[in-house]
Amino acid sequence: RENKRCLPGIKIPLEINFTTSMAEALEEAEVAVMAVPSKAVRATAQKMKDYLQPSTIIVNVAKGVEEETLLRLSQVIESVLPNPVVVLSGPSHAEEVARHIPTTVTVSSQDMKYAYEIQDLFMDMYFRVYTNEDLIGIEIGGALKNVIALAAGVVEGMGFGDNTKAALMTRGIAEMTRLGIAMGGKPNTFAGLTGIGDLIVTCTSGHSRNRRAGELIGQGYTMDEAIQKVNMVVEGVPTTKAGYALMQKYQVEMPILNAIYKV
């Protein structure tokens, strides 16, 4: 009952059952949490389709944009499943949540009554859940901060200092906000948990896969070598490609994203 590679030292509670059967996992489920890489969201939703009750709430915790369609992940799920979808996002590394280190996140949905249900279900003494009606802003902030974290890692790998990283993060949140507003998001969202909050933790934490991959690239490794060394999903890479396409589509100036795309 321990994931030695990803969560060493954490014993998974006896109340949690493991299964590789989609049917068994979803049978009579009131809530289904999708915690798969962004590129696997559509395929996973299609596999879930035959086993879900119409009332089952889907909670998506992946952060990204579908590269081929430029859809936000909630839109991807909604294009496959008729179920209500709630997005959970925020500065929340699993390594700390699993150790009951105080953490705050945000939930949102097209229909906020489902977001309130998930808020009540997930909230406890160390895991605080806020709600926000700006679904677009939350998803775009959660996705794009991974790109800025790659950039933060690159400047660290190149040997630059705190001044550089502070400048990068500050200008990075400005870029995220510009694109988010162009897509219909609200500016205040990017000053919150799923904007500046998630950006801070992803750009500075040793747990951050994106920052680590960027650091390796800054040291001279290729992108493929960096991903292999991190040995986990680095969402910033496909999000950079999707973000570049969104930047062009909405004609938004994003020099940091543009530079990381070239790298």
What digits encode the pLDDT tens for the residues 204-246? 988 888 999 999 999 999 999 999 899 888 888 999 999 999 9
User: In this structure, are residues 61 and 89 in contact, taking their beta carbons and an 8 Å threshold?
Assistant: yes
Instruction: Report, as residue numbers or ranges, the catalytic residues.
Output: 145
pLDDT for the residue numbered 233: 81
Sheet with strand 85-89: strands edge to edge: 31-34, 57-60, 85-89, 103-109, 127-131
pLDDT for the residue numbered 182: 97
Tokens 């589509």 — which residue? 249
pLDDT for the residue numbered 232: 83
pTM metric for this prediction: 0.93
Q: Six-digit token pair at 83?
A: 């179920």
Once rounded to an integer, what is the mean pLDDT over residues 72-95? 96
- The residues, any chain, with a CB within 8 Å of residue 32's CB and separated by 6 or more, are 25, 26, 48, 52, 56, 57, 58, 59
HSE toward the beta carbon, residue 104, CA cutoff 13 A: 10
pLDDT at 51 over 90: yes
Once rounded to an integer, what is the mean pLDDT over residues 48-64? 95
pLDDT at 146 over 90: yes
DSSP string, 216-231: HHHTT--HHHHHHHHT
Band (155; pLDDT cuts 50, 70, 90): very high
In this structure, are strands 127-131 and 57-60 parallel, antiparallel, or unpaired?
A: unpaired
Tell me the Ramachandran region of residue 154: left when phi exceeds 0, alpha when psi lies from -120 to 50, beta otherwise: alpha
pLDDT for the residue numbered 150: 94
Once rounded to an integer, what is the mean pLDDT over residues 76-94? 96
